[in-house]
Copies of this chain bind each other. A is one copy, B any other.
């Protein structure tokens, strides 16, 4: 009675997307927990930073498009994955902290997944293409911004290497595919690959965005890395 094959494909795709989303959540939660442990927060603070770093981008996106309650507080798996990542870091920090390269790779994967998923959700809610691209980028970078604001630091994304631009590029691919009527699955994959590739290239080649020339000295806070 049902077209079993396409149902299977749809179910498989849905499972894939959920899996990727949870992997992205886990990786971003690792970054939040690591930052919390470094600043010597207690275990509750570390878990809060895990959840905030992993879910803030999606929560703000959902608030902006009117999708309340946000997915992060209507699907328990996001909380579970965030807490697991936080506990892992809290109890295994001395061992995990040397794994800088794997974390950067996973973080790039999380960024790629989130920017694509964020743009798609914004399109589903009827936002204009340019706004969907912005919200895709916001979904990718929002968690890191919230993490840094809670730690009273200028968000790294505002002064680090090519990071938000990679997210914007990935989201833009999804949006252009939508505008041109191309199939959404392959375009999502292309967007994620572009974002991930840009991010990895930026790390490997030490790409930086330009800074404005200013005649005055940088302020103290800027110099000591805050």
Contacts and interface: CB of A to CB of B under 8 A. Distances in A.
Interface of A: 36-46, 48-49, 59, 63-66, 68-70, 73-74, 76, 79, 89-91, 93-94, 125, 127-128, 130-131, 134-135, 145, 149-155, 157-160, 164-165, 208-216, 218-219, 221-222, 226
A150 B159 contact: no
A131 B64 contact: no
Contacts of A49: 158
A114 to B, nearest CB: 17
Contacts of A43: 209-212
Given A64-B73, A74-B127, A154-B152, A40 B214 contact: yes
Given A42-B159, A64-B73, A151 B154 contact: yes
A155 B150 contact: yes
A210 B37 CA distance: 11
Q: Which 10 pairs from chain A and chain B are nearest by CB? A: A45-B158, A66-B68, A42-B209, A73-B131, A40-B222, A37-B212, A41-B158, A40-B218, A90-B212, A93-B212
A209 B37 CA distance: 13
Contacts of A159: 39-42, 45
Nearest to A33: B212
A67 B128 CA distance: 16
Contact of A64 (B42, B68, B158, B212): B68
Contacts of A44: 157-158, 164-165, 209
A182 B76 CA distance: 24
A81 to B, nearest CB: 13
A125 B198 CA distance: 42
Contacts of A66: 68-69
A158 B127 contact: no
A65 B160 CA distance: 34
Contacts of A134: 73, 79
